[in-house]
Amino acid sequence: MSTQELSAIGYDNKSPKFNGNNYAWWKNRIQNVIMGIDYECWLVVKNGPNIILKTDVEGNQVPKKDSELVIADYKLLEKNAKAMSILQQAIDVFYKFTNNKGKFKESSRSDERGMLSLYEAAHLRIHDEHILEEALTFTTDFLNSISTFSEQARLALKQPLHRGNQRLQSQRFINFYEQDFESCDEKLLQLAKLEFNRLQLLHCQELSQIQEWCKNLELARKFPHLRQRQVEYHYLSIIMYYVPQYSLARILFSKLLVLLSFLDDTYDAYGTFEELECLANAFERWDLMEKFSANYMKILYEFVITTLDDVAKEMTKIGKPYAGFFAKEQVKRSIRNYYTEIKWVKSKYVPTFEEYMFNGRNTAGMQIIGTILLMGMEEIAEAKPYIQLMQYTTAITASSNICRLMDDMTTGKAELARGVRLASSVECYMNDYSMSHEEVLQVFKKIIDDAWKDLVNEGLLINPCPHDYDHLSKPVYDRMLNLARAAESFYKFGDGLTFVKTTIKEDIVAIYAQPFSI
């Protein structure tokens, strides 16, 4: 088929003019337009357009002429065109809604789907993107006006796509796609449902393994005073690794999160100062022969040491001896921060907000959680990412701030009821600036929003250079992004770990127990 004949039926076989240098930027900008990832198109975006080559008589690779192209070649060119179309949608979306003065047109309110897409895109803004700030205000006002009869608008206002649990968002989008009779492709819909159901079965199998591990170790009997949250922790692991191939990573992360939560609860609400001081000193020595006056402390200490030593041995077997080392060091670091907090409590010292945040980023578990997130990932095959986690790059700091502040904003009353003794960031800020509780919450919302802008901006700066420690590689950046998403999922509407039934129960049931009918 000639070029002229293809053009006559609307087929454009010209290679799109773009390359992969700005892949991270394009990916972040585009994902809210297409509501998912077409992996083959992403390869085009990442690597540049498919170039159709042949070998000439001299053995050189040269481009084919149009008259030499076959069906398989046209399929590759079609991927180029599709990828370019996606990019163009991302670029042109704002021109559709603005007039020649750059102001949003009231007439655009008639396009509900377009307004929803613009709302989602506005959550990918960075600092000083005033047009996106205006877009967010404009679209939020519109979606609020229709949310009483539009389920998609209601859910978008509740949790924007970019900041939510990506697996849950996929499930919801499949439901909305099925209701779109005009553009719904039945084969694509069935494939999406089958893929979701298959992965749901895998998640249930993983959860079963984790619960069996806890049962064999008799954790409920040994630690009856500590919260048993295996389901919630595995649900968290799905947020952290929402693609199928990370099954082992999800299992390892969930197990170690059980361990970390026991330490967190112990320092938050159990044990005398002397017992907790003894535990902190023991972890510095990392010796199973340590003596404890309280037997439950000895049991906890041995559980942590034994588990992490076993994990370190497994990491060494697969060529990652440094992974176990960093995990142990980060546990020690977290314990030091817990110890700092109980010393503040004992001396009745109320830290400044800056002091609290400097210490609290670690007690939120950011660095130790980040470390164990990397341990189960095959593509993390060197020590550099673990070192980066200890240096607080912009993305790590932003994610830490989101986790720490969202936790403190919603867990205060519940932690008081559990006997938690330390003042939170809210009380510290109130004390520093003589503000009311509600005023501080508004300030924190602004800090969190700015942290999200920092995260988005860092996504545009992902650096493949192995010797650049200023910016994170994509696998590490994705974990920091997903940690922030986890904080949104667990704490946006209350304390998701304490009041599961009134906060995240419906989401958990949807992920594990609501397959699609085929």
CATH code at position 391: 1.10.600.10
pLDDT score of 303: 96
**Element counts in the chain: helices (H) and strands (E):** 24, 2
Burial class (CB in 10 A: 0-12, 13-18, 19+), 247: middle
- Three-state SS annotation for 59-113: CCEEECCHHHCCHHHHHHHHHHHHHHHHHHHHHHHHHHHECCCCCECHHHHHCHH
Stretch 395-402: mean pLDDT? 92
Asked if the model's pLDDT at residue 443 lies above 90, the reply is yes
Same domain, residue pair 124 and 78:
no
pLDDT score of 121: 84
Report yes or no on 518 lying in a domain.
no
Mean of the per-residue pLDDT values of the chain: 83
pLDDT tens-place string over residues 323-375: 999 999 999 999 999 999 999 989 989 999 999 998 887 766 678 899 999 99
pLDDT score of 33: 41
Question: What is the number of alpha carbons within 13 Å of residue 268 lying toward its C-beta?
Answer: 22
pLDDT score of 388: 84
pLDDT score of 42: 53
Q: How many domains would you assign to the chain?
A: 3
User: Percent of the chain having pLDDT more than 90?
Assistant: 50
Report yes or no on 173 lying in a domain.
no
Crossing angle of helices 366-375 and 474-491, rounded to 10°: 120
Distances, alpha carbon 154 to alpha carbons 142, 215, 228, 284, in Å: 11, 40, 33, 50
User: Percent of the chain having pLDDT more than 70?
Assistant: 82
Same domain, residue pair 64 and 137:
no
Asked if the model's pLDDT at residue 15 lies above 90, the reply is no
pLDDT score of 311: 94
Element (H, E) at 473: none
Asked if the model's pLDDT at residue 321 lies above 50, the reply is yes
pLDDT score of 365: 66
Looking at 51, 74, 97, the residue that finishes a domain is: 97
Asked if the model's pLDDT at residue 416 lies above 60, the reply is no
pLDDT score of 67: 80
Provide the 10 A C-beta neighbour count for residue 448: 21
Q: Nearest CA to 459 among 31, 79, 133? A: 31
**Cβ density class 131-149: b for 16+ within 10 Å, e for less:** ebebbbebbeebbeeebee
Alpha carbon distance 55, 407 (integer Å): 61
Residues 6+ apart with CB under 8 A from 429: 353, 435, 440, 443, 444
pLDDT tens-place string over residues 160-179: 999 999 999 999 989 988 88
pLDDT score of 171: 93
> Which domain does 38 fall in, by range?
1-97
Task: Name the least confident of 31-35, 42-46, 104-108, 386-390.
Answer: 31-35
Residue 475: what residue type? P
Same domain, residue pair 123 and 203:
no
Contact between 481 and 459 under an 8 Å Cβ cutoff? The reply is: yes
Residue 19: pLDDT band with limits 50, 70, 90: very low
Same domain, residue pair 330 and 407:
yes
Task: Name the least confident of 97-106, 199-208, 222-231, 296-305.
Answer: 97-106
Same domain, residue pair 45 and 122:
no
Q: Give the residues across from 55 on adjacent strands.
A: 61
Asked if the model's pLDDT at residue 467 lies above 60, the reply is no
pLDDT tens-place string over residues 244-276: 999 999 999 999 999 999 998 898 878 889 999
Residue position matching structure tokens 């907000």:
353
pLDDT score of 273: 92
Report yes or no on 379 lying in a domain.
yes
pLDDT score of 87: 56
Element (H, E) at 53: strand 53-55
pLDDT score of 107: 77
pLDDT score of 94: 61
pLDDT score of 330: 92
Kindly tell me the sign of the dihedral angle through the C-alpha atoms of 96, 98, 100, 102. Answer: negative
Same domain, residue pair 352 and 442:
yes
Same domain, residue pair 318 and 432:
yes
Report yes or no on 175 lying in a domain.
no
Same domain, residue pair 81 and 7:
yes
Alpha carbon distance 407, 364 (integer Å): 8
Same domain, residue pair 116 and 92:
no
Report yes or no on 502 lying in a domain.
yes
Phi, psi of 514 (to 5 degrees): -130, 75
Residues 6+ apart with CB under 8 A from 198: none
Alpha carbon distance 204, 479 (integer Å): 22
Residue 3: pLDDT band with limits 50, 70, 90: very low
Tokens of 87: 């990019």
Same domain, residue pair 114 and 248:
no
Asked if the model's pLDDT at residue 1 lies above 50, the reply is no
Phi, psi of 431 (to 5 degrees): -70, -40
Looking at 68, 97, 126, the residue that finishes a domain is: 97
Report yes or no on 268 lying in a domain.
yes
Q: What CATH number has the domain bearing residue 102?
A: 1.50.10.130
Task: Name the least confident of 182-191, 198-207, 487-496.
Answer: 182-191
pLDDT tens-place string over residues 311-320: 999 999 999 9
Alpha carbon distance 103, 123 (integer Å): 19
Looking at 82, 97, 112, the residue that finishes a domain is: 97
Task: Name the least confident of 25-34, 181-190, 403-412.
Answer: 25-34
Q: Nearest CA to 208 among 231, 241, 228, 239? A: 231
pLDDT tens-place string over residues 62-105: 788 778 878 777 777 776 776 666 555 555 556 667 777 767 78
Kindly tell me the sign of the dihedral angle through the C-alpha atoms of 7, 13, 16, 17. Answer: negative
Same domain, residue pair 197 and 49:
no
Residue 468: pLDDT band with limits 50, 70, 90: low
Which 8-state DSSP code applies to residue 515? P
Contact between 13 and 3 under an 8 Å Cβ cutoff? The reply is: yes
Residue 288: what residue type? L
Same domain, residue pair 432 and 476:
yes
Residue position matching structure tokens 């700005």:
22
Long-range pairs for 25-28 at CB < 8 Å and ≥24 separation? 25/459, 25/460, 26/87, 26/90, 27/459, 28/124, 28/456, 28/459, 28/460
Report yes or no on 44 lying in a domain.
yes
pLDDT score of 32: 38
Report yes or no on 176 lying in a domain.
no
Task: Name the least confident of 18-22, 59-63, 152-156, 190-194.
Answer: 18-22
Provide the 10 A C-beta neighbour count for residue 267: 23
Stretch 117-130: mean pLDDT? 87
Residue position matching structure tokens 């954790």:
219
